[in-house]
C-alpha cells in the first residue's frame, strides 16, 4: 500500500476522434475535418466516480505562473528564459540565445541539482524526453508515461501524474517511451502509449480531459511529444511496423475534440493514390506514421513533419510504385489540415530508411536573398534541405538511377542530395576485413542495394544515419548539427509467404533484418554548413549516437552519450570543452533555461532499450554556480526523489521474488519477461526486431547454459541483465527462447 494520499479522478472518454482510420470504406479524400459543434461538452473536472485509471500525487503547492494561450510570436521566439515546446520553439531548432555559459567558462559548469523521478527504470522503458520549462517549473515524462512537475530552480517535485496504461498493451514497436509533453492554456498535454491524448491541470496534474486518439489493439500508439499552437494540440501516431494508416491530427486544446485529421496514405482516387497498385489495400495498411513532433511557420500558416516507413517495411513485392506519402516531408495548412506540398526522400522504401528525425525550420541568406528553409536529417545519412514555402530543394537534390530488383518492384531512381553524407553509405571489402568476422562471406552493398532471398549487408542501417534524436540549427554559426549511426545490418526476404500476410495488431515487416554478429557500432556528431550541405567538422564515437543536440549563443553544442556522459563541444570547431558522467545512458536531448539571471543546462538521463544502455530515472541540472563536480560528490540525501520510492522498490522486490517462486521457470512466464525486456531489439518470438539478431536462427537457442550466460552478461551491443532480472527470471527467458527453436541441433 502506498503511504501517501492519492487523488483519484474519473476519466470520461471524449468522443471527438471516433472516425476509424482502418474502416474498409474509402474516405472521400485524405483529410477528414469534423464539425466544431460536435462533442462540445467534453471537458471534465473529475471526482465523478472511482474508475481509477490514473492517480496524481501533490508534493507541494504549485509555485509558478499558469501558462497562457501562447501567441504565435511567443512560441516562435528563440527560447531564452523558458523552453516552451519540445524543439524549443515552433521551428524545432533547439537553439537558445542564452549566452552566459560560453566556450570560455563552460569548464566551470557543475551539478546544481538531481531529481530521481521514480519510474521507467525497467529495461523495456527508454528515457527520450525533452523537458519543458515555463516560469520556473519543469515538466518531464518517463518511459513509463509518468509525468512530473518539478521546481526548475531546486529540483523539488511538485506533482506527479501516473496513468494506468491499457492492460495487455503489446503493440509498442521500439521500446516503451515518450519524447515529451506540451504546455499551454493552463494545461500539460500528454500523448500516451495506448493512443490516448490527455490534458492535465498545470497546477495539480489532475486530468481535465482525455481523448482516445485511436485503438492500440490495431497497432496505433503515441510516442512523440504533442505540440500546442493557436488553441490546438497536434499529434501524430506511431505504428508503421503494425500496418497502420498514418496521420497527423489537431485537437481543441480546451475540450479535447478532434478538429481535423489528415491521413498520410491517400485513399483511392486521391492525390498520390496512383503511386500504389490499383485495388490495393495499401492505403489502409501501408504505414507512413508520424512519430516525431511537428514544426510550424505561423507566417505561412503551415505545419511540417516527416512520415515514416511503408508497411510491410522490407517487402516491396506487392506494393509497386513510390508509395506516397511514406518517407516524405509534408506541409499542411495548420488550421485545416489541407495538403500544401510534399517531398519524398525514399521512393518505394524496402530498407526502413524512413525520416525519423524531427524537421527543423530556419531562415538564412543565400545568394543575397533571405530564404525560408526546412531541413530533415535522414536515416540515409543525408540532410534534405528544402524551401519550406514550396517544398523545392534549396540545395540541389538529384534523381539518380539505383540498382534494381524485379521481385522487390524497386524504384528506378532515388533522390541524392548534393553535399556530404554524415555517415558511410557503402560496405567495402576493406570494411569486411577490418570490422566483420573472419568467417563472414555474405554479399555486401551500398545504400539502395536491393535484396531478396540471400542476405545482403549494407549501410546505412535501419538505425540510420539519423534516427529520432533531434538535430539543431545555430543561426550564428549557420551550421546544422546532427547525430548519426554507423553499423552493419543484413537484410533478407522471408522464405514463407504465410509470414508476409497482414494480421491486424501484429508486426508486419515482411522480411528479416539483423545486425551482423560481432560487428562494431559507431556514431558521429556532425556540423554541416546549411548553405552548402558540406561537413565543417565531425566527431567519431565508438558507439551509436542516440540522444539529441542543444546549441546556444555561447558557441556551444551539448549532447548525451551512451556511457552516461553529457558532453559540450565548441560549436564552431567541434573541440570538446566539458563533460559530466551521469549514472545511466544519457539518451535524451539537453535543454537550457534561465531563472533569476542564472542559466541552467538540464538533461534526462535514463537509458535506452534500443541503445542497450544502463537505465536510470534522473534529471541532472547544471549551472556555473553549481556545487558538485561529479555524481559522487553529491550526498544521497540531496538527491530529490518521491518519498515513496524506496518503499515501492522494497515492495516491487518482494513482488518479483513472489513471482519467481510461483513458476519463474515456465515458458509462459519467460514469454512475459521477454516481451518486457527483449522484444524491442529481437522482435516478436525472437525475429524481426530493430537491432538484435534473429534468435530463432541462433546456434545458441538449443543450449540453455549458453543462453543463461548471454542473458546474464550480454555481449557486443547487448547489455547484461544480471542486475536487472532474478536468476529465476533469466531461467524462464532461457526456457522461452528454447521453445522457439526450429528443432535443429
Residue 353 CA from chain centroid, whole number? 15
d(CA 688, CA 462): 12
Kindly name the residue from 349, 352, 354, 583 that is annotated as catalytic. 352
Please enumerate in sequence order all residues whose Cβ is within 8 A of that of 357, keeping only pairs 6 or more positions apart, or say none.
Answer: 292, 306, 376, 377, 378, 466, 467, 468, 469, 470, 471, 482
- Grid look-up 510504385 returns 321
State phi, psi for 683 to the nearest 5 degrees. 85, 170
Task: Provide the H-helix boundaries in 662-699.
Answer: 667-677, 679-682
State phi, psi for 416 to the nearest 5 degrees. -120, 105
d(CA 648, CA 637): 18
d(CA 720, CA 732): 16
d(CA 286, CA 266): 10
Known active-site residue 633: no
Please enumerate in sequence order all residues whose Cβ is within 8 A of that of 533, keeping only pairs 6 or more positions apart, or say none.
Answer: 382, 383, 385, 395, 417, 418, 419, 420
3-state secondary structure of 588: coil
DSSP-derived secondary structure for 224-289: SPPEEETTEEEEE-B-GGGT-B-EEEEEETTT--EEEEEESSPPTTSTTGGGS-TT-SHHHH-B--
Do the beta carbons of residue 345 and residue 325 sit within 8 Å?
A: no
Q: Which helix (H) or strand (E) holds 141?
A: strand 137-141
3-state secondary structure of 219: coil
List beta partners, residue 570. Answer: 556
Length of the chain: 745
For the record, the C-alpha cell of 317 comes out as 513485392
d(CA 520, CA 434): 10
Residues annotated catalytic, as ranges: 352
Amino acid at each position: 500500500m502506498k503511504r501517501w494520499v492519492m487523488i483519484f479522478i474519473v476519466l470520461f472518454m471524449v468522443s471527438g476522434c471516433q472516425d476509424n482510420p482502418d474502416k474498409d470504406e474509402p474516405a472521400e479524400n485524405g483529410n477528414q475535418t469534423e464539425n466544431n459543434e460536435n462533442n462540445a461538452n467534453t471537458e471534465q473536472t473529475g471526482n465523478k466516480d472511482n474508475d481509477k485509471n490514473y492517480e496524481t500525487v501533490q508534493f507541494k503547492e504549485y509555485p509558478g505562473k499558469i501558462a497562457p494561450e501562447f501567441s504565435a510570436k511567443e512560441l516562435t521566439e528563440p527560447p531564452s528564459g523558458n523552453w516552451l515546446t519540445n524543439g524549443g520553439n515552433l521551428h524545432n531548432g533547439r537553439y537558445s540565445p542564452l549566452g552566459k555559459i560560453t566556450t570560455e567558462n563552460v569548464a566551470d559548469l557543475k551539478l546544481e541539482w538531481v531529481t530521481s523521478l521514480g519510474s521507467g527504470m525497467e529495461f523495456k522503458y527508454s528515457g527520450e524526453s525533452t523537458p519543458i520549462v515555463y516560469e520556473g517549473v519543469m515538466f518531464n515524462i518517463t518511459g513509463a508515461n509518468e509525468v512530473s512537475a518539478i521546481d526548475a530552480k531546486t529540483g523539488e517535485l511538485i506533482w506527479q501524474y501516473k496513468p494506468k496504461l491499457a492492460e495487455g498493451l503489446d503493440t509498442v514497436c521500439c521500446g516503451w517511451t515518450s519524447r515529451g509533453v506540451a504546455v499551454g492554456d493552463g494545461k500539460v498535454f500528454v500523448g500516451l502509449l495506448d493512443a490516448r491524448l490527455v490534458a492535465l491541470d498545470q497546477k495539480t496534474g489532475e486530468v481535465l480531459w482525455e481523448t482516445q486518439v485511436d485503438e492500440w489493439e490495431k497497432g496505433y500508439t503515441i510516442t512523440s511529444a504533442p505540440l500546442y499552437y493557436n488553441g490546438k494540440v497536434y499529434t501524430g501516431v506511431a505504428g508503421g511496423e503494425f500496418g497502420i494508416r498514418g496521420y497527423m491530427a489537431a485537437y481543441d486544446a480546451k475540450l479535447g475534440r478532434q478538429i481535423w485529421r489528415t491521413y498520410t496514405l491517400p485513399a483511392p482516387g486521391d492525390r498520390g493514390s496512383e503511386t500504389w497498385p490499383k485495388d490495393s489495400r495499401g492505403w489502409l495498411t501501408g504505414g507512413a506514421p508520424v512519430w516525431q513532433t511537428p514544426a510550424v511557420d505561423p507566417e505561412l500558416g503551415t505545419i511540417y513533419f516527416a512520415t515514416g516507413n511503408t508497411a510491410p517495411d522490407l517487402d516491396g513485392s506487392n506494393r509497386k510504385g513510390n508509395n506516397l506519402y511514406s518517407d516524405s516531408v509534408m506541409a499542411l495548412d495548420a488550421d485545416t489540415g489541407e495538403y500544401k506540398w510534399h517531398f519524398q526522400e525514399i521512393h518505394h522504401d524496402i530498407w526502413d530508411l524512413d525520416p525519423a528525425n524531427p524537421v527543423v525550420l530556419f531562415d538564412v541568406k543565400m545568394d543575397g536573398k533571405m530564404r525560408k528553409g526546412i531541413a530533415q536529417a535522414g536515416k540515409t545519412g543525408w540532410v534534405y534541405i528544402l524551401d519550406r514555402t514550396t517544398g523545392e530543394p534549396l540545395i540541389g537534390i538529384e534523381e539518380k538511377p539505383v540498382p534494381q530488383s524485379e521481385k522487390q518492384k524497386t524504384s528506378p531512381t532515388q533522390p541524392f542530395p548534393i553535399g556530404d553524407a554524415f555517415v558511410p553509405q557503402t560496405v567495402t571489402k576493406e570494411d569486411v576485413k577490418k570490422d566483420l568476422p573472419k568467417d563472414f562471406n555474405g554479399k555486401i552493398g551500398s545504400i539502395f542495394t536491393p535484396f531478396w532471398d540471400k542476405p545482403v549487408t549494407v549501410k546505412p542501417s535501419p538505425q540510420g544515419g539519423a534516427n529520432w534524436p533531434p538535430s539543431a540549427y545555430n543561426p550564428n554559426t549557420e551550421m546544422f548539427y546532427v547525430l548519426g549511426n554507423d553499423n552493419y545490418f543484413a537484410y533478407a526476404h522471408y522464405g514463407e509467404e504465410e509470414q508476409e500476410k497482414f494480421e491486424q495488431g501484429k508486426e508486419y515487416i515482411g522480411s528479416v533484418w539483423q545486425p551482423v554478429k560481432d560487428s562494431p557500432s559507431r556514431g558521429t556528431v556532425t556540423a554541416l554548413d546549411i548553405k552548402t550541405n558540406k561537413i565543417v567538422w565531425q566527431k567519431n564515437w565508438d558507439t551509436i549516437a542516440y540522444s539529441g543536440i542543444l546549441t546556444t549563443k555561447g558557441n556551444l553544442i551539448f549532447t548525451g552519450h551512451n556511457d552516461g556522459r553529457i558532453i559540450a563541444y565548441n560549436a564552431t570547431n567541434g573541440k570538446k570543452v566539458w563533460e559530466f558522467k551521469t549514472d545511466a545512458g544519457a539518451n535524451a536531448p539537453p535543454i537550457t533555461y534561465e531563472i533569476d539571471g542564472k542559466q541552467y543546462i538540464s538533461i534526462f538521463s535514463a537509458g535506452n532499450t534500443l541503445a542497450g544502455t544502463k537505465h536510470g530515472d534522473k534529471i541532472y541540472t547544471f549551472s556555473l554556480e553549481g556545487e558538485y563536480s561529479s555524481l559522487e560528490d553529491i550526498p544521497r540525501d540531496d538527491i530529490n526523489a518521491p518519498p515513496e520510492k524506496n518503499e515501492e522498490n522494497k515492495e516491487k522486490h518482494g513482488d518479483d521474488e513472489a513471482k519467481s517462486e510461483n513458476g519463474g521457470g515456465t515458458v509462459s512466464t519467460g514469454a512475459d519477461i521477454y516481451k518486457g525486456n527483449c522484444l524491442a531489439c529481437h522482435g516478436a518470438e525472437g525475429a524481426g526486431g530493430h537491432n538484435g539478431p534473429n534468435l530463432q536462427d541462433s546456434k545458441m537457442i538449443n543450449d540453455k547454459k549458453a543462453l543463461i550466460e548471454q542473458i546474464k552478461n550480454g555481449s557486443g551491443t547487448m547489455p547484461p541483465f544480471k542486475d536487472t532480472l532474478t536468476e529465476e527470471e533469466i531461467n524462464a527467458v532461457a526456457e522461452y527462447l528454447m521453445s522457439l527453436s526450429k528443432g535443429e541441433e
